[in-house]
Each structure stands twice: as structure tokens, then as C-alpha cells.
Homo-oligomer: A and B are copies of this chain.
Amino acid sequence: MNIEQLIVTGIRTATAEVFSTMLGVELSVGELTIEGGEPEPNDGVVSLIGLAGPWMGTGSVSCCPELACRICSHMLMTEAAAVDEEVLDAVAELTNMIIGGVKNRLEPVLGPLCLSIPTVVFGRNFRTKSAGMAEWIVLRFPWEGSQFAVKMCLTKAEKIHPMLHAPSHACTLEA
């Protein structure tokens, strides 16, 4: 299995598991696309989390405000009517669990990876671009008439930027 297939399978499995366990929702397998690294217009809620180590990249989940509120309602068992701090925290938590699950599936092949903390962005018509990333693996899961998207870009550290693999930035991990 190549790295791309490993990521696709990792996202499918981790997302299905987290949705089933945390939200009591059985997702379909989701539609796979490979997208370029150009700045991408976004509406709604986008959560970003960094991956670092011998491979580096970014994991992301995104959805519309209504789905973000629904996630919060499912996770905290309270109604969320608008995207507030609690909703952003719930989406961050879900990101952490899904991308953490993908990371666990990648590590036996790629070696130990560090996961940073998620930052959630919320707004209309904003664009996001991750440095040095040519390709994103994107899975879109239909849910309640809308879509929940999980994305990941991952590249060997030495391919990204000289600063990131200079000795002072070296990042040797122990399992």
C-alpha cells in the first residue's frame, strides 16, 4: 500500500470510528478527491492541526455552521443554535480525535509523528493555504444533507524547506 492509499484508508477508518463512537452516526465511505495546493475558498468552520516529524503536513476537517452545531449538540448533549466558543471547541476535539487516529495508522509505516493542537477558523469566504504543499487528499462524507470533509497533506520533511530540516529544527522522535 502506498502512502496515499494509507492516508485514504486511515481517514476513512478514523472518521467512521470517531463518528460512530462519539456521535452515534454511521457515515458512508465518502468521496475521494485529490486537490491542488492553491489557496482554497472556504465558508463555515475549518479546523487545522499540524503534523511534524520525518514527514510533515496538515490535517483538516471542515463543515458548514449547521453541521458544526450538530457535532457540538451530539458531543455535549446540549443544543447549539449558533457557532459559539463551545461549538468551536467541539469541532477542535473531533479534529484531534480523527487526525490523531490517522496519525496512529501512519506511524507504523512512516515513523513517529508529532500532532500539534487544532486551531479552528470560522467565517465566510476566507482562503487557506498550507506552505509547500502541492497535493491534498480529500474525503467528503455526506451527512444530513450536507458534507463533512477531512483533508490531509503530508510530505517528507526534507522536501519542504531547508529551515525545517536544518539541525536546529531537527525532530527525531522516539516511539
Task: Report A's interface with B, CB cutoff 8 A.
Answer: 38-39, 48-53, 56-58, 85, 88-89, 92-93, 96-97, 100, 103-104, 112, 114-133, 160-161, 163-164, 168-169, 171-174
CB distance from A17 to the nearest CB of B (A): 13
Q: Do residues A125 and B123 form an inter-chain contact, with CB atoms below 8 A?
A: yes
Q: Which residues of B contact A125 (CB under 8 A)?
A: 123-124
Which of B89, B119, B131 contacts A117, CB < 8 Å?
B131
Q: Do residues A169 and B116 form an inter-chain contact, with CB atoms below 8 A?
A: no
Q: Which residues of B contact A160 (CB under 8 A)?
A: 117
Write the chain B residue with the least CB distance to A41.
B123
The CA of A40 and the CA of B114, in the complex, are separated in Å by 26
Known A52-B50, A169-B103, A174-B174: A118·B89 in contact at CB below 8 Å: no
Q: Do residues B163 and A116 form an inter-chain contact, with CB atoms below 8 A?
A: no
Q: Which residues of B contact A118 (CB under 8 A)?
A: 130-131
In the complex, 14 of the A-B residue pairs with CB atoms within 8 angstroms, ordered by the A residue number, are: A39-B120, A52-B115, A89-B129, A96-B161, A100-B163, A100-B164, A104-B169, A117-B160, A119-B129, A120-B130, A121-B128, A124-B126, A172-B174, A173-B174
**Which of A50, A112, A115 has the most CB atoms of chain B within a 10 A radius of its CB?**
A50
Which of B52, B58, B103 contacts A114, CB < 8 Å?
B52
Q: Which residues of B contact A56 (CB under 8 A)?
A: 116-117
Q: Which residues of B contact A103 (CB under 8 A)?
A: 169
**Which of A51, A88, A100, A121 has the most CB atoms of chain B within a 10 A radius of its CB?**
A121
Write the chain B residue with the least CB distance to A126.
B123
